[in-house]
Amino acid sequence: MNIETTIQNATVAALKELYGQEIAKEQVQVQNTRKDFDGDVTIVVFPFLRASKKSPEVTAEELGNFLLKQVGLVHSFNVIKGFLNLEISKEYWLEILAEAFSDNGFGIKEASDESELMMVEYSSPNTNKPLHLGHIRNNLLGYSISEIAKANGKKVVKTNIVNDRGIHICKSMYAWQQWGNGKTPQSSGMKGDHLVGEFYVEFEKHYKAEISELMEQGKSKEDAEKQAPSIVAARELLRKWEAKDEDTVNLWKTMNGWVYEGFDVTYKNLGVDFDKIYYESETYLVGRDEVLRGLEEGVFYQKDDNSVWADLSSDGLDQKLLLRSDGTSVYMTQDIGTAKMRFNDYSINKMVYVVGNEQNYHFQVLAILLDKLGFKWGKDLYHFSYGMVELPSGKMKSREGTVVDADDLMEGMTEVARKMSNELGKLDALSEEEAEKTYRVIALGALKYFILKVDPRKNMMFNPEESIDFNGNTGPFIQYTYARIQSVLRKAAQQNIDFGKDVKHEAISVKEKDLLKRISLFPATVEEAGDNFSPAVIANYCYELVKEFNQFYHDHSILGEEDDNIRNFRLMLASSVGSVVKRGMELLGIEMPERM
């Protein structure tokens, strides 16, 4: 139990004992004591004056005396107007250090058989293009949310729904048929997802030209978009695919196979994975059957053109298309089917969709539709809605081929890490092989941290050069501090210093205590990040911890300390900071280099 909770509980007991007043724990405000006052934590007394019917100073004095007698970790107190400043005992801080140093699971809860099962869906790519910067934010958020949920004692299934059917892949298929000349990943030397994406861009180029030509002939823009030969042909491919035309299905399998091989490479390089992958081509039929059941039961209605719709006006929304007039499915149909299959496959307690905020309406509708179809878990679905990521150059458009490709971005980041490291001489002592591996660790650490440190619900601007700065709130700064700690510990081992035994330190300094306070907050930080689905909470905690360590390191000698007890205490403190930082960064999917 952390200090805040302990003090809150003790204050609740004190108010009942002293004044006969019962209050909720959350009403007790516990803050870090201001730097210009003595103490570690401060209780705001003003909310208790109605119960005490006494002045702020007297109330604080009485409360302080009660806590001093009843709570072992309170060493002393002082009163400044309506604020009760408590100094926490040295023994408490030494216990925190011993626990953080010796417990490999400090701050982490293990799942049990009774633990809640959370399924987290992320990535959800289309098979007509490679993964891009937007997918990177999605994958990093989904992976980190999953790891943080595990750290909070939940069982987690990481899942992906691959949008492998629909008009998007048919556009690439048509373009390959028309202008591909039999090109394959092997013959072109391209990754399969890049090759298929190239044909998607090719399709859009021809489609736009056809629309312009039809409009010049007097067609309206709307009619031209529907009648352009390319889109008519792509729609015919979709119809033939749903009719299981053999040649169409074989081409679809071949081109999707190219894409999957490409995706697998990108996922591996990015360091994300999945426990279960669903495919829209398998789930949309389940969804279509559910929609047809809803039609039979009067939940949905059919228009004269045979299209099937949901009337959501009673829910304050509009009419939602579920099946087109030609019987083909829409995304909503697929998501209904996927949800049903998942809840059949797993005993899910919470389903989390990691999808951008442009789909807020979609998931609002999905929850309502599932509820109308009689699935009791429908309205419990959680849409983790996150903001878009842009580059200084502006928005990305995959149809125009102006997206920032994920593979190219990771490679470019590695090159930036190599250049900046060489300029600063950071990795001069490493072998060429070690240096190359470390460049990649730094690059991915920079990329992941820069994206995850931002409140996920906000739009963000990604700047590659800024993210690899070795100073400031960046991944490389945290990695470098960790590597510095490991260097100190290696030197201690070379000097045969055994510091992992009894902790003795008679006078903990301000900087040492500040570090211990930060360490003590790690379990509560992991819990907060899980409650709020926010990797940013972990990221910024890690930054504050290493920033605090660097201030301590600047002011205090470790290996040069002549008093063995103090030296060993500081080595334990440094080791604990390293362990907590590594554990925190692992929850973000970030690797920590032993040398930099």
CATH of the domain at 64: 3.30.1360.70
107 within 8 A of 585, measured Cβ to Cβ: no
DSSP 33: P
Better-predicted residue by pLDDT, 102 or 395? 102
417 within 8 A of 474, measured Cβ to Cβ: no
Q: What is the pLDDT of residue 568?
A: 93
Place 432 in a pLDDT band, splitting at 50, 70 and 90: confident
What the block records as the tokens of 524 is: 């509560």
d(CA 43, CA 25): 12
Same domain flag for 444 and 387: no
Q: What is the pLDDT of residue 452?
A: 96
Place 25 in a pLDDT band, splitting at 50, 70 and 90: confident
Same domain flag for 256 and 303: yes
492 in any annotated domain: yes
Q: What is the pLDDT of residue 397?
A: 44
| Beta strands per DSSP E along 440-544 | 460-461
Torsion of CA 585, 588, 589, 592, to 10 degrees: -20
Same domain flag for 146 and 293: yes
Interstrand relation of 389-390 and 460-461 (parallel, antiparallel or unpaired): parallel
478 within 8 A of 585, measured Cβ to Cβ: yes
99 in any annotated domain: no
280 in any annotated domain: yes
CA angle 191, 193, 197 (to 5 degrees): 120
d(CA 166, CA 129): 13
Q: What is the pLDDT of residue 461?
A: 87
For 345-371, write each residue's pLDDT tens digit.
999 999 999 999 999 999 999 999 999
102 in any annotated domain: no
d(CA 438, CA 411): 13
Q: Cβ of 333: how many Cβ atoms within 10 Å?
A: 26
Same domain flag for 189 and 323: yes
pLDDT over 60 (residue 566): yes
In 3D space, the residue among 366, 384, 383 whose CA is nearest the CA of residue 375 turns out to be 366
Q: What is the pLDDT of residue 99?
A: 92
Same domain flag for 395 and 443: no
Same domain flag for 389 and 418: no
AA identity, residue 531? D
Same domain flag for 242 and 258: yes
310 within 8 A of 299, measured Cβ to Cβ: yes
Chain mean pLDDT for the chain = 92
- Domain of 539 in residue numbering reads as 407-586
591 in any annotated domain: no
Same domain flag for 419 and 548: yes
- Tracing tokens 């992941």 back to the chain, one arrives at 448
139 within 8 A of 354, measured Cβ to Cβ: no
For 254-289, write each residue's pLDDT tens digit.
999 999 999 999 999 999 999 999 999 999 999 999
For 288-315, write each residue's pLDDT tens digit.
999 999 999 999 999 999 999 999 999 9
d(CA 413, CA 420): 11
- The side-by-side arrangement of strands in the sheet containing 41-44 is 30-32, 41-44, 83-88, 74-80
Residue 263 sits in a domain whose CATH number is 3.40.50.620
Q: Tell me if the pTM is above 0.85.
A: yes
d(CA 409, CA 130): 12
500 in any annotated domain: yes
- Phi and psi dihedrals of 18, rounded to 5? -80, -40
112 in any annotated domain: no
| Domain-ending residue, one of 400, 422, 443 | 400
CA angle 91, 95, 98 (to 5 degrees): 135
d(CA 256, CA 280): 12
Same domain flag for 22 and 67: yes
d(CA 274, CA 577): 30
Number of folded domains that form the chain: 3
For 49-94, write each residue's pLDDT tens digit.
999 999 999 999 999 999 999 888 899 999 998 899 999 999 899 9
Same domain flag for 334 and 438: no
| Domain-ending residue, one of 343, 366, 400 | 400
Same domain flag for 46 and 173: no
593 in any annotated domain: no
CA angle 279, 349, 364 (to 5 degrees): 65
d(CA 57, CA 420): 56
Taken as a whole, the chain contains a residue count of 596
Same domain flag for 312 and 256: yes
Q: How many helices (H) and strands (E) does the chain have?
A: 22, 14
Q: What is the pLDDT of residue 467?
A: 86
In 3D space, the residue among 353, 461, 417 whose CA is nearest the CA of residue 591 turns out to be 417
Q: What is the pLDDT of residue 396?
A: 39
Q: What is the pLDDT of residue 424?
A: 76
For 385-405, write each residue's pLDDT tens digit.
999 888 776 443 444 445 688
What the block records as the tokens of 460 is: 């963000």
Q: What is the pLDDT of residue 398?
A: 41
Residue 568 sits in a domain whose CATH number is 1.10.730.10
pLDDT mean over 562-574: 94
β-sheet bridge partners, residue 405: 132
- Tracing tokens 């600063």 back to the chain, one arrives at 424
Please report which helix (H) or strand (E) contains residue 97, including its range.
Answer: helix 90-102
| Domain-ending residue, one of 400, 422, 457 | 400
- For the ranges 22-31, 220-229, 450-459, the lowest mean pLDDT is seen at 22-31
